[in-house]
Structure formats: structure tokens, C-alpha cells
């Protein structure tokens, strides 16, 4: 349930409500706004209602039951269009998050060249895989720690926040020192031990939807992260598995964008690169995603997709990426959003 405190409620009154919630065997989650503090009481609602006679507690405005299985990421608790900051970039609301870069870090030159290109265009963040989940054990698995060192250099060089994937709890410590956003891939969406650990970090999280996951399962995975204390979560729709296997890689579920926004305040990022699997399909899918209400896009960009070690056919060409962004920006403008990070950082040395 959600306890809305009165405007001007004192710290002592808030602490008293928190203590009462904890005595009832629940977890208190405090969210302080500019004027009003909201306290989430996380536990079995029926037991809470019986244990908490809190309506008359000092400083309490009202008590609102949250009946959905996901509590902290629900719109009831967070409100619509909640925003947060990552690396100086504002995410959510009227801000559009454009994440671009190589699928995987292959070399220092390839990564820094791409970083310079996307930074010059004014994207929000740089993506790059250090650890790569691959269907075959014989394909390129990423450079690991060497890739993290290259990404750290790219961030120092451009000022761009870094988005990179974590596949295992053992990788978190190394990634935390470099990344601004931890990406959880589709295959790990329900790796609950990993989600719990990431919930204890203070980094942003890009949570990709599993290939066969329902919207509720996706939001419950986000709830695991929020329950650990980390609320800077971006949901990422990257295409789901359907009966189509030839025309495109996955089916981009555009309907989930407005649907998830009806029930959750989390920003929704769309990955048209993985959904399409084909370069010439990415632009129309990106336009459609923006028009459907997406809060951002994540796309793959490479100086030479023909020689890419991972997902070359779905990588956009670095030398034509500016024109690609200009095209998508027309739809972004129509939707009343502004790309967060449109002023490129100065390239070092």
C-alpha cells in the first residue's frame, strides 16, 4: 500500500510511520518529493491492512492500496512520467534518450572512432558490450575487462555516459567502476539473483524484455531491482519471439509502449536494431516507436558493419548516422520531446 503524507509532514512523523510499517513486518520505501513524501509499505496487502491502522497517524494524508503485484514501479506509486538523472542527462518526461554505439567492443580504434561520431551528433549515451551473451559458444564473446578499459577511455574522451551489459553477478564489481548504466539482456530478465544484486547499486539500469515475457513478468523483474533500492530503471522493448522467423529477427511489440505507460511510470526505451536484425528496417521501426510514445531508442552503430564481429547486418553505418538521427528527430520533435545530450561534449586530445 502507499501512504501519502501531508504537505509539511515533519521528519519525526515520517519516521513514526516507517517504524509502524516495519513493526507490522513490512518494508518501508520512502520517496520524498518537493512538496509531498510518499511511503510505500511493501508486503502482503491483506496482512498490512489488518496490521496497520495508520489513517489517523500524525502527518498522514491518505492511504492508497496498490493491488498490482508490482508496487514500486507502478504508476500508483511513482506517478506518470517520473524522471531521473544519469551522468548529467535527464531521463523521462519530455527528455528523449538516444543511446548509440557498437554492439560490442572489438578494438580500441573501432570503439573510440564510433564514440567520436555519436558524440559529435549529440547522443545521450554510448553503448558498447564488454561481455556478450551469444547463442553459440563458438562465436565472439566480448573482450571482457579489456573492453571495460576501452569504454572508460571513451567516456573520458567524450564525456558520454556508458551503457554496457552485465551477465553474471561476478561481473558487477568490474562494471560498476566504468558504467553509468547496467544493461540486463533479454536472456537475463528473470535472473532474479542478478536483479537483486543490481538493485543494490546506484547505477542506472536498462532492463530488456525477455523474448517470451509478458508485460507483467517484465514489470515484476523491474520490481526486483526497485525493491533493492535502485529506482533508476529504464524498460527496454527489444522485440519478442513470434511465428515470424524470416522477414525480420523479432516482432517489435509497439503496443506494449502505451500499455506499459498506463500502469507504470518507468521510461520505455526501444531497441529497433535487435528487433529488426536488418539495417534497412531500423529507421521505419524507430519512427514508429517514437510515435507510439517511446522515451528513447538504443541502436547499434559501427564504422564498418561488414567486418563487425557481432550483429553486423543490424548495425547502422557511422558515416551516415547523422542523417539517420535527423530523420528520427523529426518525429521526436512532433512528439514534443528533446534529445537529452544534444550538445556534444568536447573531444579530449
pLDDT digits (tens, 9 = 90+) for 4-17: 888 888 888 889 88
List, in order of start, the domains of the chain with CATH numbers.
2-67 (3.30.70.1140), 84-339 (3.20.20.70)
What are the beta bridge partners of residue 181?
163, 204
* Residue showing cell 579489456: 146
pLDDT digits (tens, 9 = 90+) for 302-331: 999 999 988 889 999 999 999 999 999 999
pLDDT at 20: 85
Q: Are 101 and 252 in contact (CB under 8 A)?
A: no
pLDDT digits (tens, 9 = 90+) for 223-266: 999 999 999 999 999 999 999 878 998 999 999 999 999 999 99
Comparing 22-26, 89-93, 156-160, 245-249, the range with the smallest average pLDDT is 22-26
* Residues contacting residue 211 through CB under 8 Å, at least 6 positions apart: 186, 187, 239, 240, 241, 250
Cα–Cα distances in angstroms (integers) from residue 68 to residues 2, 22, 176, 321, in the given order: 12, 21, 32, 41
Element (H or E) spanning 330, and its range? helix 321-334
User: Higher confidence at residue 311 or residue 43?
Assistant: 311
Euclidean distance between CA atoms 267 and 75, whole angstroms? 11
User: Higher confidence at residue 30 or residue 48?
Assistant: 30
pLDDT digits (tens, 9 = 90+) for 109-160: 999 999 999 999 999 999 999 987 766 776 766 788 999 999 999 999 999 9
pLDDT digits (tens, 9 = 90+) for 330-339: 999 999 999 9
Amino acid at each position: 500500500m502507499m501512504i501519502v503524507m501531508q504537505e509539511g509532514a515533519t521528519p519525526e512523523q515520517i519516521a513514526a510511520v516507517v517504524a509502524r510499517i516495519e513493526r507490522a513486518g513490512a518494508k518501508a520505501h520512502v520517496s520524498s518529493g518537493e512538496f509531498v513524501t510518499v511511503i510505500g509499505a511493501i508486503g502482503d496487502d491483506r496482512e498490512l491492512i489488518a496490521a496497520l491502522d495508520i489513517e489517523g497517524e500524525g502527518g498522514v494524508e491518505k492511504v492508497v492500496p496498490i493491488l498490482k503485484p508490482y508496487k514500486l514501479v507502478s504508476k500508483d506509486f511513482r506517478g506518470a512520467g517520473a524522471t531521473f538523472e544519469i551522468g548529467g542527462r535527464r531521463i523521462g518526461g519530455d527528455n528523449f534518450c538516444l543511446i548509440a554505439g557498437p554492439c560490442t567492443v572489438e578494438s580500441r580504434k573501432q570503439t573510440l572512432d564510433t564514440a567520436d561520431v555519436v558524440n559529435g551528433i549529440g547522443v545521450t549515451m554510448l553503448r558498447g558490450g564488454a561481455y556478450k551473451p551469444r547463442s553459440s559458444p563458438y562465436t565472439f564473446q566480448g573482450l571482457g575487462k579489456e573492453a571495460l578499459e576501452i569504454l572508460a577511455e571513451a567516456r573520458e574522451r567524450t564525456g558520454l555516459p556508458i551503457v554496457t551489459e552485465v551477465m553474471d553477478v561476478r561481473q558487477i564489481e568490474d562494471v560498476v567502476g566504468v558504467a553509468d548504466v547496467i544493461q540486463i539482456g533479454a536472456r537475463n530478465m528473470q535472473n532474479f539473483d542478478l536483479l537483486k544484486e543490481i538493485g543494490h547499486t546506484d547505477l542506472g539500469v536498462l532492463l530488456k524484455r525477455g523474448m517470451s515475457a509478458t508485460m507483467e513478468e517484465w514489470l515484476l523483474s523491474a520490481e526486483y531491482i526497485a525493491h533493492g533500492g535502485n529506482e533508476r530503471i529504464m524498460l527496454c522493448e527489444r522485440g519478442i519471439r513470434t511465428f515470424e522467423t524470416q522477414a525480420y529477427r523479432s516482432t517489435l511489440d509497439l503496443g506494449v509502449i502505451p500499455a506499459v505507460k498506463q500502469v507504470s511510470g518507468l521510461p520505455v526505451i526501444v531497441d529497433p536494431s535487435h528487433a529488426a536484425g536488418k539495417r534497412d528496417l531500423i529507421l521505419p521501426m524507430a519512427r514508429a516507436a517514437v510515435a507510439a510514445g517511446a522515451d528513447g531508442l538504443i541502436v547499434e552503430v559501427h564504422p564498418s558493419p561488414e567486418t563487425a564481429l557481432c550483429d553486423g547486418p543490424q548495425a547502422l553505418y557511422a558515416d551516415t548516422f547523422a542523417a539517420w538521427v535527423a530523420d528520427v528527430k523529426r518525429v521526436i520533435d512532433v512528439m514534443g520531446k528533446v534529445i537529452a545530450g544534444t550538445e556534444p561534449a568536447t573531444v579530449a586530445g
